[in-house]
Chains A and B, each alone.
Chain A
Amino acid sequence: MTTSSAGRRTSHSRSFARVRGVNIWLTALLVLIAALFAFPMLWFLLSSFKPGSELFSLPLTLFPETWTTSGYSTA
C-alpha cells in the first residue's frame, strides 16, 4: 500500500516538484520587479542625505559622498 502510493508519487514527482518547489526564474522575476519598485524610494531616501551641491553634480552616485542631515534639520 505504502509502496504503491510512493510509486505513484514518484511518477508524478516531476510535475509536483515544479509546482510545490521553488521556481528560481519566477523568484528572480519577483525580486527584479521588487527591486525596480524599491529603487525610486531608495534613491529618494539616499538623496535626502546629500548636500544640495551633490544633487546637481555629475557623476551621480547612489550613496552620498558626504552624509548630511541638514535637510532634515531644516525641515
Chain B
Amino acid sequence: MAQDVAPASTLTPARRSSRRVRKPGQTLAPLLFITVAVVLFVLFFLGPGSLGLYYSLTDYTGVGDPEFIGMDNYTKLFGDEQFYSSLSRTVLYTVLAVPIHYVVALGISLLLTSAATRFRTVSRVIFFLPWLISPIVVGVIWRWIFGENFGLVNYVLSLLNLPTQQWETNGDLALAVVIIAGSWGGTAFTMLLFIAAIRNIPKSYMEAAELDGASGAQRFFSIQLPLLRPTSFMVILLGTLGSMKEFAMIQSLNGGGPGTENMLMVQYIYQTGFQRANIGYASAVSMVLMVILIVVALIQMRFDRREDLA
C-alpha cells in the first residue's frame, strides 16, 4: 500500500482517515443517533422559539392572521410602566429570595449531614415532602395560612395580642409571603444538591482540620464552603432563573396582588397574552425576559470562572 511508505508524521492521520472510510457505519450511525435529538430540538424548542420571535413582531391576538408590525411591540414595551414595575418587582423578589433560599437550604443540609444531630432520616423526609406538592397547591396552602380574616398566622397574632398584619393587601408583606412560600416549596431540591455535595467532600479534610484544632465555623468556612463552590454556583444560577420565571405558585397564592403590585414578569406575560389576548405583545415581553435571563446566566458563568482561577 502507498500509505505504508509515507513518512511517520502523515502516517497516523492517513490511517485514521482510512479507518473512517473503511467503516461507513461510523459516520452513518452517529448521524442517525443525533437526528433524534436534532428533530426533537427543532420541533419542540427551535420551532416554538422562532414562532414566538415571529409573533413578537406581529399584532397576533390568537385568532385571525398575524399582521407584521415590525418593532412596534418593543417600542411600546419600553414605554410601558407596568412592564418596568413587574420587572423591578421580579428583580426585587429574586434578590431577596435567592439568598434566603440558599442559606436555608445550606443550613438544613449541614444539619442533616452533621453527625451531631439525631432524627436526620425523618427530618429529610419532612424537608423533601414540599417538593412533591404542586406549586399551585403550595400557593393555596400558604394563601390559607396567611389569610387576612381566617388565616392561621393572623389568628395566632391576635391570640398573642399582637396587631394582625395585612398579608394580602400590603404589597411588601404579600411579597414576603411569596418568598416564604417559595423557600418552603423549593428548599427540597436545593437541599438534595447540597447534601450530595457535602457527602462528596473527603472526610479526611474535615478530620485533619479537626485534629489541627479548627473550630466548627473554621471548618465550614475554610473547607466546606470553598469545596461547595461549584454546587453553590449551580444553586444560585438555578435559583435566579427559577425566581425570575416564578409563576404558578404566585398565581395561586395571591395572583400578583394586591392589584398588580407584585405581578412578576411571567404573570405579566400570562395576563397580556392569555387574558387580554395580546399574544404579539406578550411574545415581545417573553423575548425580553429571555434576553435578561441569558445575560444573567452569562454574567454568573463568567463570575464562576473568575472565581475558579483565583
Chain A 39-66 near chain B by CB (<8 Å), digits 1 or 0: 0110110010000000111111000000
Task: State in angstroms the CA–CA spacing of A41 and B184 once bound together.
Answer: 11
Q: List 23 A-B contacts (CB under 8 A).
A: A15-B210, A18-B116, A19-B115, A19-B210, A22-B117, A23-B117, A27-B116, A27-B118, A29-B111, A30-B123, A33-B108, A33-B111, A33-B123, A34-B123, A37-B127, A38-B129, A40-B145, A41-B133, A43-B144, A43-B152, A55-B150, A56-B149, A59-B159
Q: CB of B119 within 8 A of chain A?
A: yes
Minimal beta-carbon separation of A10 from chain B (angstroms): 16
- Known A27-B117, A60-B155; judge A41-B141 contact (CB<8 A): yes
- Known A26-B111, A56-B150, A58-B155; judge A41-B117 contact (CB<8 A): no
Kindly state the interface size class of chain B when it binds its partner.
20 to 34
Q: Are A40 and B210 in contact (CB under 8 A)?
A: no
Q: CB of A14 within 8 A of chain B?
A: no
Q: B-side interface residues toward A, CB under 8 Å?
A: 107-108, 111-112, 114-120, 122-123, 126-127, 129-130, 133, 141-142, 144-145, 149-150, 152, 155, 159, 184, 187, 210, 213
Minimal beta-carbon separation of B148 from chain A (angstroms): 12
Task: Name B's interface SS.
Answer: helix
Q: Are B145 and A43 in contact (CB under 8 A)?
A: yes
Q: Are A44 and B119 in contact (CB under 8 A)?
A: no
Minimal beta-carbon separation of A42 from chain B (angstroms): 10
Task: State in angstroms the CA–CA spacing of A51 and B19 once bound together.
Answer: 76
Q: Are A19 and B116 in contact (CB under 8 A)?
A: yes
Q: CB of A6 within 8 A of chain B?
A: no
Task: Name A's interface SS.
Answer: helix
For B108, B126, B150, which residue has the most chain A Cβ atoms within 10 angstroms? B126
Minimal beta-carbon separation of B189 from chain A (angstroms): 14
Q: Among B116, B118, B130, B152, which residue has its beta carbon within 8 angstroms of that of A37?
A: B130
Q: Among A26, A37, A56, which residue has its beta carbon within 8 angstroms of that of B184?
A: A37
Chain A residue nearest in CB terms to B124:
A34
